[in-house]
Amino acid sequence: MERAKEVQANLSPHFPSFLKLMLRSHVSGGFWLGLPKKFCDGHLPKGDEMMVLVDENEEEYHVKYLVHKTGLSGGWRGFSIEHKLLEGDVVVFQLIKPCKFKLYIVRARRLSEVDGAITLLNLDFQTGPINAVKMEEKLEENAGISETAAEKYMEPLAVDNSQKNDGGSIPMNQPAPDQSGDGGESFGPEIMDGIKFAESLLSFKDVGCFEDFNIHVDGLVLDSELPMHLRTKYYELCRSQSSFLHEKVIPGLNSKLAAGMILETINIADAIRVANPNMGSNHFESWDKTLKAFDDLGMTVGFLRARIHKLVSLSCESQTVIELKRTERAAAEDEMRSLNEKLSNIRLLIEKLDSEIAALKVKNEELGFLFKEVAGAPW
């Protein structure tokens, strides 16, 4: 619950949200999910409606909202089973449209895996708040209108997931269990939503070229989680260190989180390469904080952090010299102002003296006439 509250705190305050602790009745048996009545009264439709749940992979699920029961019924069972929700998990619901929730799942198991990292993988909203209009008007606007890319409310990591799973970890050497209890189709032992089981361990010394490069994490091949151009970039990063950067990731780590860390590592590496001294320390601090969380989870990112620290040092050194020169310039400007003030006073003094000299010249001429008159006077 504490982790879920941290996730909620990182969400946009413009969109109302609440936390829901998963009880046994929510994830098994009748699969009935009651929602906070105060939240329903304040934000949800006044009649029964179909709601849309958007997971962290931007997959959408339709569920039935029953206003008189203030809860979700039809469709919730499928969402719960698909995402392998268990008793004790916490789901963060964020209302991004009148009939659409964005959901974030914080799992009770392996909390230590996501501590320090789960809120770093793209929780930044790119939209404004829901307009304060009547719910009925919003429903009419949205009725029958298909969504486009411009209606996306989250900016996901650059993942090309043609087949997306729920992000749960898959036990090695056995298929994922069927939790539906109704004879549903179970997954085969070789593949689950594009993530394959590794046939053998791969050492980086056996990687001679990109064609030999595969991303193995805890017995799974995660190549399908990265587009080709990002896998190429990741290969170059690994080749620069002569090792798989994910080789020491802690065992049992959620496969989606592992793929997310790799993708974010690539993004940060690209950002570092185009960094400039005028970016400001907040960018470097953010990158270093993210990489520190990945480092704690076993990613080999020390070389990236070292580069960031070096850039920060150079930036600070440059900024220190600039600040020193700015201080010297400010002192020179003060001195110039002082000298200009003195010069102004001197000019006033000169003007005053010129006036006095002119008056004395006039008086001297008068004295000259008197002088001649006295000199030429009779004895």
Side-chain-facing half-sphere of 357: CA atoms under 13 Å = 6
Beta strands in 67-162 (DSSP E): 71-72, 90-97, 100-106
Domain ranges of the chain: 1-122, 197-378
Please, which pLDDT band fits residue 142 given cuts at 50, 70 and 90? very low
- The CATH architecture to which 1-122 belongs is Beta Barrel (2.40)
Six token digits for residue 154: 């989250």
Q: Which residues of 48-77 are buried (b: 16+ CB within 10 A; e: fewer)?
A: ebebbbbbbbeeebebebbeeebbbbebbb
pLDDT, mean of residues 198-224: 83
Q: Which residue has the higher pLDDT, 255 or 333?
A: 333
The whole-angstrom separation of Cα 21 and Cα 35 is: 11
pLDDT, mean of residues 279-302: 88
The whole-angstrom separation of Cα 256 and Cα 326 is: 49
Please, which pLDDT band fits residue 109 given cuts at 50, 70 and 90? low
Least confident of 57-71, 138-152, 343-357: 138-152
Sheet holding 216-217, edge to edge: 191-192, 195-197, 220-221, 216-217
Mean pLDDT score across all residues of the chain: 77
The identity of residue 270, as a single letter, is D
